[in-house]
Amino acid sequence: MAMREMGAKVNGGEACRLCVGRTYVIERQGDQAQARVCACSDSCSVCGGRGHVLVEREAEFSQKVGPKRYEVMEPCTCTRRRRRVALFNDVHLPGVVAHAGFDNYRAFNEAQDRGRGVAMHFAHQYVKGVTAKGFILSGPVGTGKTHLLAATLGHLVLEMGVRARYVEISLLYATIRRGFQEGKSGGEIIGPLSEVEVLAIDELGKGRGSAFEMETLDELIARRYNAGRTTLFATNYSLEPERKQLRAAGPTGYRSTDDARAAVRGEELLRERVGERIYSRLCEMCTFVELPKDTPDRRRTRQEMDTLHHPPTGMRSAGR
Ligand SMILES: Nc1ncnc2c1ncn2[C@@H]1O[C@H](COP(=O)(O)OP(=O)(O)OP(=O)(O)O)[C@@H](O)[C@H]1O
Ligand SMILES: [Mg+2]
Ligand SMILES: [Zn+2]
Ligand SMILES: [Zn+2]
For atom 6 of ligand 1, the residue with the nearest CA is: 144
> According to the model, what pLDDT value does residue 317 have?
46
Q: Is 143 in the pocket of ligand 1 (CB under 6 A)?
A: yes
Nearest alpha-carbon partner for 197 in 46, 288, 58, 91: 91
Q: What are phi and psi of 99, to 5 degrees?
A: -85, -5
Q: Is 170 in the pocket of ligand 1 (CB under 6 A)?
A: no
Reported for 3-10, long-range contacts at CB under 8 A and 24+ positions apart, including other chains, are 3/40, 4/40, 4/42, 4/43, 4/45, 5/40, 5/45, 6/41, 6/44, 6/45, 6/46, 6/77, 6/78, 7/41, 8/38, 8/40, 8/41, 10/40
pLDDT greater than 70 at residue 128: yes
Q: What percent of the chain has pLDDT over 90?
A: 71
Residue type, 222: A
List helix spans (H) across the chain. Answer: 77-89, 110-125, 145-154, 160, 169-181, 186-195, 211-226, 257-265, 270-274, 276-285, 298-309
Q: Is 109 in the pocket of ligand 1 (CB under 6 A)?
A: no
Taking only the tens place, the pLDDT of each residue in 236-265 is 999 998 887 655 544 544 555 555 554 445
Averaged pLDDT for residues 170-175: 94
| Ligand 2 ion local residues (Cβ < 5 A) | 145-146
| CB-count burial class (<10 Å; 0-12, 13-18, 19+) for 217 | buried
Taking the centre of ligand 2 as the mean of its atom positions, its distance from the CA of residue 66, in whole angstroms, is 59
Q: Is 316 in the pocket of ligand 1 (CB under 6 A)?
A: no
Nearest alpha-carbon partner for 173 in 214, 234, 225: 214
Beta bridge partners of 233: 136, 201
pLDDT greater than 90 at residue 306: no
Which domains can be identified in the chain, with CATH numbers? 2-81 (no CATH), 90-309 (3.40.50.300)
Q: Is 112 in the pocket of ligand 1 (CB under 6 A)?
A: yes
Taking only the tens place, the pLDDT of each residue in 173-231 is 999 999 999 998 888 889 999 999 999 999 999 999 999 999 999 999 999 999 999 99
What is the best residue among 298, 302, 320 to mutate for testing ligand 1's pocket, by most ligand atoms within 8 Å of CB? 298
Taking the centre of ligand 2 as the mean of its atom positions, its distance from the CA of residue 310, in whole angstroms, is 26
Averaged pLDDT for residues 128-141: 96
Nearest alpha-carbon partner for 244 in 229, 228, 219, 265: 265
Taking the centre of ligand 2 as the mean of its atom positions, its distance from the CA of residue 95, in whole angstroms, is 12
Taking the centre of ligand 4 as the mean of its atom positions, its distance from the CA of residue 13, in whole angstroms, is 19
- The ligand minimizing its distance to the Cα of 24 is 3
For atom 7 of ligand 1, the residue with the nearest CA is: 144
pLDDT greater than 50 at residue 315: no
Q: 123-137, 219-233, 260-274, 284-298: lowest mean pLDDT where? A: 260-274
Q: Which atom of ligand 1 is nearest to the CA of 147?
A: 18
Taking the centre of ligand 1 as the mean of its atom positions, its distance from the CA of residue 180, in whole angstroms, is 33
- The ligand minimizing its distance to the Cα of 320 is 1
SS3 163: coil
Taking the centre of ligand 4 as the mean of its atom positions, its distance from the CA of residue 5, in whole angstroms, is 11
Q: Greater confidence, 248 or 135?
A: 135
Q: Is 299 in the pocket of ligand 1 (CB under 6 A)?
A: yes
The model's confidence at residue 309, banded by pLDDT at 50, 70 and 90, is confident
- The ligand minimizing its distance to the Cα of 291 is 1
